[in-house]
Amino acid sequence: MPLSYLHTMVRVKDLDASIAFYNLLGLKERKRHDSEGGRFTLVYLSPPEQTDGHADLELTYNWDGDDELPSDSRHFGHLAYECDDIYALCQQLMDNGITINRPPHDGRMAFVRSPDNISVELLQAGDAKAPAEPWTSMGNTGHW
């Protein structure tokens, strides 16, 4: 019996802040479901060039709060996205107040955290970029 990947779900405390963060990564809202009875909102995001209606990421927001959501969601692992220019994306994120926890020292890989501490891995598409400043000498911040 074949399986088809649907999405990854993460719970969020501040839906607007989380959507803004994932928009900075280039993801766009594809659909939204508000459940009056269940008192939650589901927002599905995916890259804009993905036109098949499939969502990579489901944000789940509980209207009455989510006290069970840990402050450090490290147990989740991470989301991973490939990008065309890791340096440009990291600069855009920094320009918008996002901490680069693991800068792309090697021109290949970086890590950032969402507003809900979800670890997000960014990978350079194709070959790694040549090492460049300020990334090469930028230190790691926190953990990812």
**What domains can you pick out in the chain, each with its CATH number?**
7-62 (3.10.180.10), 79-124 (3.30.720)
Average pLDDT over residues 128-140: 96
Catalytic site residue 121? yes
Residue of 68, 82, 121, 133 marked active site: 121
The per-residue pLDDT for range 18-62, each reduced to its tens digit, is 999 999 999 999 999 999 998 999 999 999 888 776 678 989 899
For residue 140, what pLDDT is reported?
94
CB 101 within 8 A of CB 111: yes
Question: Exposed, middle or buried, 12 (CB in 10 Å: 0-12/13-18/19+)?
Answer: buried
Say whether pLDDT at 6 is over 80.
no
For residue 24, what pLDDT is reported?
96
Average pLDDT over residues 7-22: 92
Query: How do beta strands 119-124 and 78-83 pair?
Result: parallel
Single pTM value for the model: 0.78
